[in-house]
Amino acid sequence: MKDILSSRSYMKVEFPFWITRTVQGSIAEHGHEFVELVYVVRGKGMHVFQGSRYEVHAGDVFIINPGETHAYETDKDEQMEIINCLFMPSFIPDALLTELEITGSMDYFYVHPFLDHDARFNHRLNLHGQDAVGVLTLLENMIREINNRSIGHTTLIRLQMIELLILLSRFYTMMPQQRQHPSPRQLDREMTAKRIYGYLERNYEKKITLQSLSLLFNASIRQLNRLMQEEYNRSVFEALHEIRIERAKHLLLETEEKVIVVATMVGYEDQSFFNRLFMRHVGCSPKQYRVTG
């Protein structure tokens, strides 16, 4: 069983965010409950992600999702300095995303981290020149704010984090690998479906309604389901149930929480409904899966 780092070790419930700059040595494989955004300031090393090794260099940016495992390996004569930005998905409230109308500008947060592993790390962002300077400046501003804790620092950090994710999304969509041939209309529909799926992955434990998604993604309920059906061959809630059940399987094997607690952790208040859904998707009850899985 890999070490799972708890959010409580780094951040407060009312402000689920932490950022630090450090010289990163070798560290054993581990997972965590939070999102981790990493920026390599200088040097190079090996990043072990889900068991695969990737070389990382200055200017690289990548995101580790909750539940994923990773590690670092560095040579004795090589130093790698990184900035670690840790936060819970709830750090950026849906109401703020809706008010600013920016769900279509957050692809580095809602699309890139949910690509397959090789695509993510072979097509990761590597920033140079003014792009690198702009990102580093934002990160250093957040470090200064969280260290000084002056009046309004939580608001400034939240806004700077949104600016950072939008900026990274802009760089991501400009990458050569992202240039695609489908018509602009078709591409827009595909990206909207991927944003919805990424949102569900990030927020599966919340009480999610089609009405709230409709507001967030500026699309009718009918459109939401049609887009998901075209891209993933399932409705919004079919996709949500699959995501929740996969997370529940992980929790059943990696924790000792009671089944009713696991059900709540993945967004189900009714344990009977959770048990029936689990049986339908997995073919056995949660208790049986814990023993045999």
Q: What is the mean pLDDT for each group of 10 consecutive residues in the chain (293 residues)? A: 63 88 90 92 91 91 90 86 94 91 91 85 88 97 96 96 96 71 69 94 94 94 95 96 95 91 95 96 95 83
42's CB contacts (< 8 A; 6+ apart) are 58, 79, 80, 81
φ, ψ of residue 45 to 5 degrees: the values are -175, -170
CATH code of the domain covering residue 60: 2.60.120.280
| 107 and 252 part of one domain | no
Pick from 122, 156, 174: which residue ends a domain? 174
| 47 and 166 part of one domain | yes
| Count: domains in the chain | 2
Pick from 146, 174, 202: which residue ends a domain? 174
Q: pLDDT value at position 16? A: 94
| 103 and 126 part of one domain | yes
Q: pLDDT value at position 248? A: 95
> How far out from the chain centre does Cα 234 lie?
22
| 8 and 147 part of one domain | yes
For 180-221, what is each residue's pLDDT tens digit? 555 566 678 889 999 999 999 999 999 999 999 999 999 999
| 154 and 26 part of one domain | yes
Q: Provide the domain limits for residue 162.
A: 4-174
8 A C-beta contact, residue 170 and residue 110 = no
For 104-114, what is each residue's pLDDT tens digit? 899 999 999 99
| 208 and 86 part of one domain | no
Angstrom distances, CA of residue 236 to CA of 168, 228, 232, 233, 264: 27, 6, 9, 10, 20
| 170 and 212 part of one domain | no
CATH code of the domain covering residue 230: 1.10.10.60
Query: What pTM value is reported for the model?
Result: 0.87
Pick from 155, 174, 193: which residue ends a domain? 174
| 277 and 190 part of one domain | yes
8 A C-beta contact, residue 267 and residue 244 = yes
| 101 and 208 part of one domain | no
Element (DSSP H or E) covering residue 73: strand 70-73
| 79 and 130 part of one domain | yes
| 227 and 139 part of one domain | no
